[in-house]
Structure 1
Amino acid sequence: MAGEDLVRTWVGFGSAKLIEQALEWANLDAEKHEEAYRIFLMHYHAHLTDRTTLYPNVTALLKALKHNGVPVALITNKPSVFVKPMLDHFELTEQFGWLLGGDTLEEKKPSALPLLHCSESIEALPEKCLMIGDSITDFNAAKNAGFKCALVTYGYHQGVDLAGLGADAVMDDLAELLM
């Protein structure tokens, strides 16, 4: 078994890539990708929120941003079919102006396209926007889009030392953005 620690390093590049890495790790034929991916998506859908929890202060930060009229987008590489049901489970859907899954546009993070799509829709200059993330994928998306970037030290950082990337902020708690 690959184990959680190894699998966590595979998370963040999209579920198709996760399955590709799992097949490679298990020395299974890459031609099994489509079948393995289909099985993964069915299992994921059936257990979408089973062990899913919110990180500390997510709700407080989102409510503060909404209260202050700050437009907020959720941009994930997760297939879009899973995004709203997960947010609905935590009663967070209304906190976001945009929900972009990895298949919403023709490119996904670390491409700049999803971030720029959202900033252009509110006519915000990229340098006035902030990407909050937990991975090198998020950092690279922000850098590629010309966004400022704040990274949290928890989550799926793919084994990368986030402090060394050069983000505008690296924090242990989202509450730091409320100060």
Structure 2
Amino acid sequence: MPPLRTGPDGLQAAIIDLDGTLVDTLGDFVVALNRTLADLALPAVDRAFVERTVGKGSEHLIARTLAHVGGAVARYEHAWGRYQHHYAAVNGEHAAVFPGAAEGLRRLADAGLRLACLTNKPQAFAQALLERKGLARYFAFVFGGDAFERKKPDPLPLIRTCAALGTVPGRTLMVGDSINDAQAARAAGCPVVLVTYGYNHGEPVGDADADGYVDRIDALMPAPDAC
């Protein structure tokens, strides 16, 4: 894709998704979910199911997992509590920063963009993961799925994040990995770029309505003098 236009008339900030964009967290999800299911004497799930299901918040993940393995809806609260316990124990242990992610954040920050991480992962888990992986220092703000009244793909989290950054949506780039990020960005009025390697509910990410696609975040090339 062409260089990003920054500077007085270009982008002022970027909002970056976490799971599937910065960090490959599927291993953490699989371990935490299967420990939860074992506690409930329910069958395990595989990595492919988790990859299709993550992205809309932990509540959605737990509900879909219970439905998938035949767990009763009435067991949701118990499953939620056990999942929170297990995820806190493994957060980041089975996860890896995607190639080019840290370099890309550094490049965006060096270009003068203010950065915020916006994820549907619970806030405490997101902050702890970023710190464990050495990425927290790049962000002025970190907002989780429980930071606002609604989650992506609703535009509200992006609009509130822009307000925190002190920027308008039209000059705030959204970088994500799924149709959730694309839909939220479009509704909020933010330009959006999607990575090609993330978790998009089993669908080709190229089908999502975005302004561009990159194979690595460090392929985003800020160019203050670009026209």
Q: Which category of TM-score, normalised to the shorter sequence, fits these structures?
A: over 0.9
How far the C-alpha of 1:8 sits from its partner, in A, is 0.8
Q: Which runs of 5+ in 2 are unaligned?
A: 1-43, 223-227
Distance of 2:127 and 2:107 partners within structure 1: 21
Distance of 1:165 and 1:90 partners within structure 2: 28
Which residue matches 2:218?
Answer: 175
Distance of 1:30 and 1:67 partners within structure 2: 48
1:129 aligns with 2:175: no
**Segment of structure 1 superposing worse, 121-130 or 69-78:** 121-130
Identity of aligned residues (%): 33
How far the C-alpha of 1:178 sits from its partner, in A, is 2.5
1:141 to 184, 205, 210: 184
Which residue matches 1:48?
Answer: 91
RMSD after superposition: 1.3
1:68 to 111, 114, 122: 111
Structure 1 length-normalised TM? 0.95
How far the C-alpha of 1:109 sits from its partner, in A, is 0.8
Say whether the 8 Å CA contact 1:23–1:29 is kept in structure 2. Answer: yes
Which residue matches 1:105?
Answer: 148
Say whether the 8 Å CA contact 1:136–1:160 is kept in structure 2. Answer: no
Q: Which runs of 5+ in 1 are unaligned?
A: none
1:90 to 133, 145, 149: 133
Distance of 1:121 and 1:47 partners within structure 2: 30
Aligned residues: 179
Structure of greater Rg: 2
Moved over 3 A (4+): none
How far the C-alpha of 1:167 sits from its partner, in A, is 0.7
1:79 aligns with 2:122: yes
Closer/same/farther in 2, CA of residues 157 and 55 from structure 1, 3 Å limit: same
